[in-house]
């Protein structure tokens, strides 16, 4: 499997109340300083991985569309010097649908970006205000039009299962999303993450989240509606026409190697886990003193790698081959899976086996996190 490269741009104009990503608001950003730091961090990763085929680059954040196109161009050019680009390399940049950022789309495409992921989140102005977004529904639709002219492939995000949202409202919004005809949609249920402003709001009773029955119904409806429209779910929250799946994210879910650079970025390469310093200033200091931004770097025990591969792979509709994972990491299939619990959840219809592969059913995807905790071998993560 080809290597993937993740580049994190940590800056946003505003922190959204639901967001627990590594994003920061700063009055100003020294672009030249950040270019030098990211190039140095990339060079370190290239030395560590060796010259390999690079299948994808993903600019995430934060808000990467705030980056000057010239900076994006320099990073893509550097990646081309360090690795061998696959003939069909996928280069994705996350973007917000503001008029300022969408005005850069043509230049970003010239820099080499061939896929964008837009943080639309909703086509309803009241919902966008609730979610703390800086754009409105008109901005979102305009940005989508511009993106579809500029980039070969376009995806966008929506957040549903919001407080007070009915099935009829979500059906209308989802229908509008599908009408744009993009090949990929990322549809996320609103979750309350610790440390966010929404977590404080919920604790204070500012709003009440939908209950589990409501969210499960919306989840199942979403999968039915997107499949009917030709964009079946290929992962828990991601839907695509066949061939339009995000190849970069598939590297994560299929447990391939990926290099992560920039503040807070994680990486997995040849069984070694890396994590960069999260705070932008700490990252810059680390690069200044050690020529890279790594805060932690350690080999992962093979049983732990096996557990990660299992848990990531079961997010995919295609599922996993447990025997292949066990063989890959030199453990027994019995150690990988709790046999009795796996049989039980299979009997209950949450998972199924087909041609040697284990996959989570639509019913099981609703409770995926708790399901994974049940079936992974109980001692796997603790095995030396």
Do 212 and 356 lie in one domain? The reply is no
Mean pLDDT of the chain: 95
- Whether the pLDDT of residue 244 is over 80: the answer is yes
* Lowest mean pLDDT segment, chosen from 240-244, 253-257, 333-337: 333-337
Q: What is the mean pLDDT of residues 334-344?
A: 91
Query: What is the model's pLDDT at position 382?
Result: 55
- Per-residue pLDDT reduced to its tens digit, 142-172: 999 999 999 999 999 999 999 999 999 999 9
Q: Are 122 and 128 in contact (CB under 8 A)?
A: yes
Its domain, for residue 223, covers 3-252
pLDDT tops 70 at residue 384: no
Is residue 127 a part of any domain in this protein?
Answer: yes
Beta-carbon neighbour count of residue 125 at 10 Å? 15
Both 195 and 330 in a single domain? no
Alpha-carbon distance 163 to 208, whole Å? 6
| Residue with tokens 């600019």, as numbered in its chain | 59
| Per-residue model confidence (pLDDT) at position 194 | 95
Is the confidence at residue 383, as pLDDT, over 80? Answer: no
| pLDDT for 219 beyond 70 | yes
- Under 8 Å between Cβ of 246 and 155: yes
Q: Alpha helices of 229-318 — where are they, by DSSP H?
A: 247-253, 280-290, 302-313
Q: What is the CATH number of the domain that holds 29?
A: 3.20.20.70
Q: How many structural domains compose the chain?
A: 2
**111, HSE (Cβ side, Cα atoms, 13 Å):** 27
Within this chain, do residues 247 and 343 fall inside the same structural domain, yes or no? no
Among left, alpha and beta (phi > 0; psi -120 to 50; other), residue 335 is: alpha
Percentage of the chain lying above the pLDDT 90 cut: 91
Q: Are residues 314 and 219 in the same domain?
A: no
Kindly indicate the confidence band of residue 381, based on its pLDDT and cuts at 50, 70 and 90.
low
pLDDT digits (tens, 9 = 90+) for 265-304: 999 999 999 999 999 999 999 999 999 999 999 999 999 9
* Tens of pLDDT, residues 46-102: 999 999 999 999 999 999 999 999 999 999 999 999 999 999 999 999 999 987 788
**Could you tell me which residue, 383 or 175, shows the higher pLDDT?**
175
Same domain assignment for residues 326 and 229: no
């Amino acid at each position: 499997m080809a290597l993937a490269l993740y580049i994190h741009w940590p800056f946003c104009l505003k922190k959204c109340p639901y967001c627990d990503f590594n994003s920061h608001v700063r009055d100003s950003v020294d672009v030249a300083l950040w270019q030098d730091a990211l190039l140095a961090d990339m060079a370190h990763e290239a030395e560590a991985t060796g010259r390999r085929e690079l299948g994808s680059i993903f600019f995430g954040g934060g808000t990467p569309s705030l980056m000057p196109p010239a900076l994006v161009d320099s990073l893509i050019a550097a990646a081309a010097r360090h690795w061998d680009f696959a003939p069909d390399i996928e280069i994705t940049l996350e973007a917000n649908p503001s008029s300022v950022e969408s005005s850069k789309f043509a230049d970003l495409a010239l820099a080499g970006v061939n896929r964008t992921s837009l943080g639309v989140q909703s086509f309803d102005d009241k919902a966008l205000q609730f979610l703390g977004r800086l754009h409105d529904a008109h901005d979102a639709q305009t940005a989508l039009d511009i993106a579809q002219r500029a980039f070969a492939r376009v995806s966008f995000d929506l957040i549903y299962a919001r407080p007070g949202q009915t099935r009829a409202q979500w059906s209308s919004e989802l229908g509008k999303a599908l009408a744009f005809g993009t090949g990929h949609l990322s549809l996320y249920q609103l979750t309350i993450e610790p440390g966010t402003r929404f977590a404080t709001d919920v604790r204070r009773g500012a709003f009440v989240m939908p209950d589990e029955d409501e969210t499960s119904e919306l989840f199942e409806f979403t999968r039915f509606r997107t499949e009917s429209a030709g964009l079946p779910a290929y992962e828990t929250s991601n839907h695509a026409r066949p061939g339009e799946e995000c190849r970069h994210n598939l590297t994560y879910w299929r447990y391939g190697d990926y290099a992560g650079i920039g503040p807070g970025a994680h990486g997995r390469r040849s069984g070694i886990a890396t994590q960069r310093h999260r705070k932008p200033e700490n990252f810059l200091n680390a690069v200044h003193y050690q020529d890279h931004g790594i805060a932690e770097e350690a080999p992962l025990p093979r049983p732990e790698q096996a557990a990660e591969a299992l848990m990531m792979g079961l997010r995919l509709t295609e599922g996993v081959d447990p025997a292949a994972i066990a063989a890959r990491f030199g453990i027994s299939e019995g150690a990988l899976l709790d046999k009795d619990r796996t049989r039980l959840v299979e009997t209950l219809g949450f998972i199924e086996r087909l041609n040697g592969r284990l996959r989570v059913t639509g019913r099981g995807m609703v409770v995926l996190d708790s399901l994974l905790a049940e079936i992974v071998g109980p001692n796997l993560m603790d095995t030396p």
